[in-house]
Amino acid sequence: MAIAHSSLGPVLMDLGKPKEAEAEFREGLRLDPQLEPALVGLGVLRTNQGDDQQAEKILRQAIERDPKDEKARLNLGLVLAKQQKFGEGEAQVRQAKFFFACVEVNRLPVLL
């Protein structure tokens, strides 16, 4: 059930309902405190609201929970770039691309 709340958050953000989106992300985290996608959603919501410092903090928490999460790293890289922390932002984006490539390689069929 926690993932359902977390999944509803982006839909509500797209509908222009940030308060409702935040409530869904928080409910997902209440039900499952380790629900990393809810943290990423909250981070994206914060940066969309112009609170890049809070977004950075939340996205870093998501990466602590799952260091290989390419969405968290990509979003953190973008938030850092908005704050003109270009070197670290670029490093996060590069790591996101690396982890994304690893996931994609694992999805390739094995030819014998």
Mean pLDDT of 81-100: 92
Query: CATH classification of 2-106, choosing from 3.30.1330.60, 3.40.640.10, 3.40.50.150, 1.25.40.10?
Result: 1.25.40.10
**Over pLDDT 70: what percentage of the chain?**
91
Predicted confidence at residue 111, as pLDDT, reads 47
Determine the Cα–Cα distance for residues 97 and 84; give it in Å rounded to an integer: 20
Mean pLDDT of 41-67: 96
Residue 110, pLDDT above cutoff 50: no
Per domain, the residue ranges of the chain are 2-106
Mean pLDDT of 67-94: 95
Predicted confidence at residue 107, as pLDDT, reads 58
Amino acid at 104: E
Q: What is the pTM of this model?
A: 0.85
**Over pLDDT 90: what percentage of the chain?**
85
